[in-house]
Amino acid sequence: MSAPPARSPRVGVWLIGARGSVATTVVAGCAALTAGLHRPTGLVTEGPAFAGSGLPALTSLVFGGHDTTDCPLPKRAEQLAAGGVLPPGLPTAVAAELAAADRDIRTGGPLPGDTRTAGELITAFTEDLRDFVRRHGLARAVVVNVASTEPAATGTALPPSSLYAAAALRAGCPYVNFTPSTGLHHPALAGLAASSGLPYAGRDGKTGQTLLRSALGPMFAQRALDVRAWSGTNLLGGGDGAVLADPAAAAAKNAGKERVLADTLGTVPEGEVHIDDVPALGDWKTAWDHIAFDGFLGTRMVLQTIWQGCDSALAAPLVLDLARLTARAHETGRAGPLTALSFYFKDPVGTAPAALADQYTALLRFAHALGDPE
């Protein structure tokens, strides 16, 4: 990334899971856009409605993060290009930016055999964050969790995602949870979050099947059609496929998917959601939905949808959107749950509409308010 104009303050984006597919696509993609190699397809905040919102420019973003693996970002990008996730040639074209971000990745935890206490881990992560801000002279840094989904928390111990969230709060960083992991949603962090004065957003980025459900559910409700059963199967092969094929890990994710139906239909239809790990699909996912509904006089009808998308390519621009919006929310003094960002999440914080169109309206209103902070 070339140096931003002198007056533009630099903003950090600290990615939990910084060596994963999503994070790699975020870093490579941002570099590709600022270099003019690609149009900003999928990036909502590059639309005209956000021109006056005062969002940090893409050129002002500085990337770093935590991860527990050690494959360098340039190599991860090559792997993604071989799998068709990144365009061929892109890893080479943005090799410098990938290497720069890689130098700002710190070892996360707990690692296997790690004997540090939760408190010690939080302290270490906080120090990594403060160091990142200090070294780059950042105006602020947003922490975004894009790590693989962790199993549902059991007991009262803080799961890793909550350790990182606690570190974000302690370092004074706004926090975005793009996964269904616990993060800030832990009782032990509620008081800290409230008193921190920081804005935060989440949970679980809405990238495919649930995005579609939040667009289609309202249609059935508006037309007074009676959805009897809504069944779905997801096939995916990236890291999340293996994790989510475990029912315990999938529970949080599926709760978000069901909430969308319940909230948009006003009722919970029959039907299950399956998440299958299919390594042959790599980072590509296929979601089949079968919706059995009754029409006039009880006539039975069916809608089926098949969504074939690339998980990282769907998630990455939303991560950039959220980092920019949350950074600006922080800059303008907003605190607490950013319910206006429900457009981006399966299971949004706070009280937010469930229909995609209403969420979009709320987002546009927020975009306007951000530009006119008084």
Q: Using CB under 8 A, which residues numbered 198 to 217 contact a copy of itself?
A: 211-212, 215-216
266 CB neighbour count, 10 Å cutoff: 12
**Quick one: 340 or 355, whose CB is closer to a copy of itself?**
355
Coil, strand or helix at 359: helix
Residue 164: CB minimum distance to a copy of itself, A:
25
Residue 150 CB neighbours (<10 A): 20
Does residue 272 touch a copy of itself according to CB under 8 A? yes
Whichever of 65 and 317 has its CB closer to a copy of itself, that residue is 317
Q: Which residues pair with 65 in a beta bridge?
A: 15, 105
- Quick count: other Cβ atoms within 10 Å of Cβ 352? 18
**In the complex, least distance from residue 268 CB atom to a copy of itself, rounded to whole angstroms:** 13
Taking the least distance from each CB to a copy of itself, the nearer of 176 and 211 is: 211
Amino acid identity at 300:
R
Q: Does 228 bind a copy of itself (CB under 8 A)?
A: yes
| Interaction between residue 294 and a copy of itself (CB under 8 A) | yes
DSSP string computed for 225-266: -EEEEEEEEEEE-SHHHHHHTSHHHHHHHHHHHHHHHHHHHS
- 224: which 2 tokens? 């007074």
Binding mask 165-204 for a copy of itself (x = CB under 8 A): ----------------------------------------
Among 301, 350, 365, 373, contact with a copy of itself (rule: CB under 8 A)? 301
Footprint on residues 90-149 left by a copy of itself (CB under 8 A): 90
Provide, rounded to whole angstroms, the least separation between the CB of residue 247 and a copy of itself.
Answer: 11
Please, which residue, 83 or 109, has the CB nearer to a copy of itself? 83
- State which H helix or E strand residue 15 sits in: strand 11-16
User: Which residues in the 61-90 window bind a copy of itself by CB under 8 A?
Assistant: 81-82, 84-88, 90
Residue 126 burial (CB < 10 Å; 0-12/13-18/19+)?
buried
